[in-house]
Structure 1
Amino acid sequence: MRQDCQIVFHPMNRVISVQPGTNLLAALRSANVQIESICGGKGECGKCRVIIDSGDYHEKRRTQKSHLSSEERGRGYRLACEIVVSGNMEVTVPVESRIERPQILCGLLGECDCGGMAPSVRTYPLEIRSDPVFPLSVRSIRLLNYSGPRPTISEAMYQKITGSDTRLKALLTETDGYPELIDLISEEEMKTPLGIALDLGTTTIACAIVDLESGIVLAEEATLNRQITYGEEVITRISFARNAEGLRLLQQAAAESINYVITRVTESAGVQPDDLMEICIGGNTVMTHLINAIDPGYLELADADVQRKPFIRKAQALGINLHSGAYCYCLPNVSRFVGGDAVAGVLSSGLHCGSELSLFIDLGTNGEIVLGNKDWIASISCASGPAFEGAGISSGMRAMHGAIERVAIEPDSGEAHVMVIGGARPRGICGSGLIDAVTGMFKAGILDFKGILKSHPLVRTGHAGPEYVLVPAAESATGQDIVITQPDMDYFMDSKAALCGGIGVLMKKYRLKVTDIRHIYLAGAFGAFVNLQNTVAFGIIPSFPFAEVHPVGNTSLKGAYAALVSLEKRREAQKIASMMVYIDLLVDSDFIEEYTAALSIPGKEEYFRDSSGEGDAL
């Protein structure tokens, strides 16, 4: 029998034992060390950089050379996904590879108005009548103040009723479509039933604990989705889940992440997980499949037939630590890449209620765009989100401590001035900073209208070709230059063209002009932190001169909250999912034309003639 190898991870001083032949990235996952791994371990992104201090190993592939310079290799840098453990090791996870202190948007407290409380879970006094002839026998059981179908009751609940000599209250749930009695508690011990509203994002998870009688939010917490070390994008996770073991690992990672954030939020509220009687989840199609342990492989097909009904399971069957009778309700999906989070966005923004045309934009790891009003709703999805979160960029990182979030570039000199999350030295640049930077570079003449780096004193030839030095090594936290390379610009231009082109497809399909749109709902961090004038000036989204802009926060969480406290809102969500048209850009004939036109800065004249990138107009 081969002896296990011991690996010590610095600076967290975490120790793990693994078998010889174990991939180092897999060992990091097992040790719950959160490390960047956008491609999921394929050796393509170059983000899972580690420093091997000592130990025995061999390299699995040779693609490391394209991501690491000879100088870096000499200092011990390797890609974790390409290292195979063969003996004891000591490994340092450098600052640029760590995932820590993310800037995650919650935003429910003080904003809870769903037009009336009608939760699925309610309490009712229980009246038990004994048989007058046989006093120890129960003749009838009645829920006071309840009108509806006769609830189902388990044998265990029935025995609890017959064996009780105290006044009881019944906890009733209607989540699974039929009333079910899930617990009986004495009137003296009965507490207000609580529930969890949760946004299950590809990268982050945010949740709120809610009083189901008043709708008051007691506490909010957020964390990273532990699935991220298996790949940043949903396509990568679909690929990882192709076999049963991969699906199990991803489901387990999601459940563990949910349990972790539930533990934190219950501690903040001073309650116990057993007090939680329901969880409502807003998440994209892949995420809701994975948490429910449903193989998402078929979602790779362009004509995938996606169920537009909510996934409903017992929470404990999914490994989520709530009350034993609690259900997990996932908002309904629409298509393979427009999921319950987009439905939640429409639900919480009210796009489906008015007669004026509205556009909803949610750029997370994936991008969802919804256009419509109370009469019709159409949607698209584009794979542009990661670039706007800093992913796929050589010096990019998510919005967390040490990320550059704001950039101002002097038009004459091209010199950059940066603002960093946490005020420390910068480790890299996140999406909002990147949008500022590229817009400033274009205005300063560092970029041409095709996004090509021009000859400039601050542009040099680097490892991957021309690159603009945003922050020199002496001023960074990593001791390395923070740069924007030509491959970065190519990727960013592709992403901006996909988003703007996708919006153009929706406009073209319904024969609309930018002047027809009256409301723009910007969800998530994109709406909260991004400079809108720069977003339009660079051509990421068109200029809508007559539209009112609404930053609407975490709409996935808000939609989950609405579904948690109102059965009527669940019915609305179902209606939204049923009526929403999905246009698949991968097979749409108009998309190539719109995408190609958007590969210039800013883009089509008819989309930007009313905007110079200055002032208040969007």
Structure 2
Amino acid sequence: MLCLEKRIVIRVKDSINNKDTLVSMSKGENLLETLASSKLSIFSECGGRGTCGKCIVKVVEGRLKITLQDKASFSTSELEGGYRLACMAYPDMDCTIILSSRRNTDYKVVTETLNHPTNTEYSKIKETSHPHTLTYEKKAYAIAIDLGTTTIALALTDLPGGNILDKYTAINPQRVYGADVVSRIKASNEGKLNSLALLIREELLKGILKLGEKNQIKIESIDNIVIAGNTTMIHLLMGYPCNTLGTFPFAPYKDGFINLLSDEIFGISEKIPITLIPGISVFVGGDITAGLLACGINREDKPCLFIDLGTNGEIALGNRERILATSTAAGPAFEGGNISCGVGSIPGAICHVSYEEGKLSYKTINEEPAVGLCGTGVVELISELLKEGIIDSSGLLKDSYFDEGYPIAGMKFIQKDIRELQLAKAAIGAGVDILVKSYGISYEEIDKVFIAGGFGYHLDINKAAMIGLIPEALTRKAIAVGNTSLAGAIYLIKDSDTKNKIEHIILTAEEVHLSNVEGFNELFMRYMSF
């Protein structure tokens, strides 16, 4: 007689959305992966290694065994209260769990974009208010997509003008497999490629359909879709193998413009042309190509510096004749990742910090109760503690705070958190220094500094300079340019000749491999200091 395996049923209580979901799994399956495949929002910045302590669940019925990683992440009372890490949990009985209330479910994604009408004038790409109340002569539309490691942003535009009619933003659901590209490449190479591709395809299709529904636009009225993203994100979207991205020969599965139809990846009947913007290299992807285009570096006579302060920390320096580019693997600290009390840009995230008259004060996103520190909050807190002498130039906390950490909003900012930010800012500092020297110019000869990305858009430049994230000599030249990846994708929608401009950028660009530069390690260590 055939004996069927009894399935384990997990009741998931979502306190944020106030609903219960039943999830079925087999004994021996991982709870985090099961939740992810069931489209339940929970993230693991460390890729399921049990080190970030962010994939928190609370067992209210049944039991989950306590692991060594649980003991490292929770106090005795929290363990007794049922708190566990989902990535370390392998249920062997039916359970009821509550997902952590401190989840990045309402991430504030920067979609502000800039165009570049002249070499000295910057203005926002035109946005049309209340698009569903307007009548258009031409019922044709396009969608631009910024496919980021952390977040995604979609912009619905009209044709031929390319005016932004509406936007859709979301967290990249692949974060369940890790906050950085290295973790996702590893997951892909370990058999998770199909899962990673399905996650992002479903989220992008959801955004496309929501934009159409909200604006009363039929999907067949969408003429084309343009996507800009780093090389790894494009590979995971397309389902390309990633085995050559993280190891020699460090080559993409396919380079150049990628053209396909929507039915090939979204499983819909409509055949909308899709264009994927090419990158300069494996490490400097199409999102940076799009960003350089949006900032107009391909038209500048004087050298300009472009810094994308995200997980991958891409930097470019150049003008219309020559561009040097590199990637620094800054890590997720700029986005609140790998910080013990770090969160993304969600309501309640501490985003601004000041220290006056011996008293620390802070502001949170949407002025909601503090739930953690986002990237700008981390930078500003360190800047203020450095100014007050609570942190020394080497990054060490004063003895009175060294063991337990510095208290803020009922949380503790610990020594490891400072080190995470030091590693990230040292990667950027050393990268900028090497590009400037390789280009054969001084900092004074740089005409403009474009600070791209969501973190950079809200960054206090002066406080960033105080901790050495941005060279002091460049602060007055710095311009926060927002989501340049999305802006570049919109340019391609507006002007078919943009393809030639992108190809020119790639042709004039040369990648600098920092690890091959003599003295890089010593320079990196120097930039670790404040």
- Do the aligned partners of 2:115 and 2:294 also contact (CA within 8 Å) in 1? no
Partner of 1:600: 529
Secondary structure, counterpart of 1:64 in structure 2:
helix
Matching of residues 140-179 of structure 1 within 5 Å: none
Displacement of 1:385 in angstroms is 4.5
Within the alignment, does 1:359 sit opposite 2:305 as a pair? yes
Matching of residues 171-570 of structure 1 within 5 Å: 192-243=139-190, 245-301=191-247, 303-306=249-252, 308-319=255-266, 321=268, 324-410=270-356, 413=358, 415-456=359-400, 459=401, 461-462=403-404, 467-472=405-410, 482-545=411-474, 548-570=477-499
1:144-166 deviation line (CA, Å, top 9, x unaligned):
xxxxxxxxxxxxxxxxxxxxxxx
- Do the aligned partners of 2:312 and 2:331 also contact (CA within 8 Å) in 1? yes
- Do the aligned partners of 1:308 and 1:574 also contact (CA within 8 Å) in 2? no
Cα gap change, 1:448/1:460 in structure 2, threshold over 3 Å: closer, same or farther? closer
Cα gap change, 1:489/1:349 in structure 2, threshold over 3 Å: closer, same or farther? same
Secondary structure, counterpart of 1:598 in structure 2:
helix
Displacement of 1:305 in angstroms is 3.0
Secondary structure, counterpart of 1:254 in structure 2:
helix
Partner of 1:93: 99
Moved more, 287-296 or 15-24: 15-24
Give aligned-pair identity as a percent: 30
Q: What are the ranges of 5 or more consecutive residues in structure 1 without an aligned counterpart?
A: 116-189, 473-481, 602-618
Matching of residues 568-587 of structure 1 within 5 Å: 568-587=497-516
Matching of residues 607-618 of structure 1 within 5 Å: none
1:81-131 deviation line (CA, Å, top 9, x unaligned):
1110212111111222x12111101125x969799xxxxxxxxxxxxxxxx
Displacement of 1:330 in angstroms is 0.7
Displacement of 1:65 in angstroms is 2.3
Secondary structure, counterpart of 1:313 in structure 2:
strand
Find the aligned partners of 2:214 and 2:452 in 1 and give their Cα distance.
26
Partner of 1:152: none
Displacement of 1:316 in angstroms is 1.2
**Matched residues, number:** 505
Decide which of 38, 41, 44 is 1:34's aligned counterpart.
41
Find the aligned partners of 1:36 and 1:333 in 2 and give their Cα distance.
28
Cα gap change, 1:7/1:113 in structure 2, threshold over 3 Å: closer, same or farther? farther
Displacement of 1:38 in angstroms is 0.3
Displacement of 1:527 in angstroms is 2.8
AA aligned to 1:74 is: E
AA aligned to 1:273 is: I
Find the aligned partners of 1:114 and 1:543 in 2 and give their Cα distance.
27
AA aligned to 1:247 is: L
Find the aligned partners of 2:5 and 2:353 in 1 and give their Cα distance.
53
Decide which of 9, 12, 20 is 1:9's aligned counterpart.
12
AA aligned to 2:466 is: A
Find the aligned partners of 1:224 and 1:418 in 2 and give their Cα distance.
25
Cα gap change, 1:21/1:338 in structure 2, threshold over 3 Å: closer, same or farther? same
Partner of 2:52: 45
- Do the aligned partners of 1:515 and 1:546 also contact (CA within 8 Å) in 2? no
AA aligned to 1:535 is: A
Find the aligned partners of 2:97 and 2:507 in 1 and give their Cα distance.
51
AA aligned to 2:256 is: K
Cα gap change, 1:460/1:375 in structure 2, threshold over 3 Å: closer, same or farther? closer
Moved more, 531-540 or 256-265: 256-265
Larger Rg: 1
Find the aligned partners of 2:457 and 2:299 in 1 and give their Cα distance.
23
Secondary structure, counterpart of 2:473 in structure 1:
coil
Find the aligned partners of 2:473 and 2:402 in 1 and give their Cα distance.
37
- Aligned CA-pair RMSD: 2.1
Decide which of 90, 113, 119 is 1:84's aligned counterpart.
90
Secondary structure, counterpart of 1:241 in structure 2:
helix
Cα gap change, 1:299/1:324 in structure 2, threshold over 3 Å: closer, same or farther? same
Secondary structure, counterpart of 1:571 in structure 2:
helix
Within the alignment, does 1:70 sit opposite 2:76 as a pair? yes
Q: What are the ranges of 5 or more consecutive residues in structure 2 without an aligned counterpart?
A: 120-136
Find the aligned partners of 1:106 and 1:22 in 2 and give their Cα distance.
38
Find the aligned partners of 1:569 and 1:274 in 2 and give their Cα distance.
24
Secondary structure, counterpart of 2:362 in structure 1:
strand
Find the aligned partners of 1:93 and 1:67 in 2 and give their Cα distance.
16
The TM-score, its normalising length taken from structure 2, stands at: 0.91
Secondary structure, counterpart of 1:446 in structure 2:
coil
Displacement of 1:589 in angstroms is 2.1
Within the alignment, does 1:22 sit opposite 2:29 as a pair? yes
- Do the aligned partners of 2:116 and 2:295 also contact (CA within 8 Å) in 1? no
Find the aligned partners of 2:160 and 2:334 in 1 and give their Cα distance.
39
* Higher relative contact order (Cα pairs below 8 Å, separated by 6+ residues): 2
More helix by share: 2
Find the aligned partners of 1:455 and 1:197 in 2 and give their Cα distance.
51
Displacement of 1:46 in angstroms is 1.6
AA aligned to 2:149 is: T
Find the aligned partners of 1:409 and 1:64 in 2 and give their Cα distance.
35
Cα gap change, 1:586/1:112 in structure 2, threshold over 3 Å: closer, same or farther? closer
Partner of 1:133: none
AA aligned to 1:568 is: D
- Do the aligned partners of 1:36 and 1:229 also contact (CA within 8 Å) in 2? yes
Find the aligned partners of 2:507 and 2:24 in 1 and give their Cα distance.
50
AA aligned to 1:380 is: T
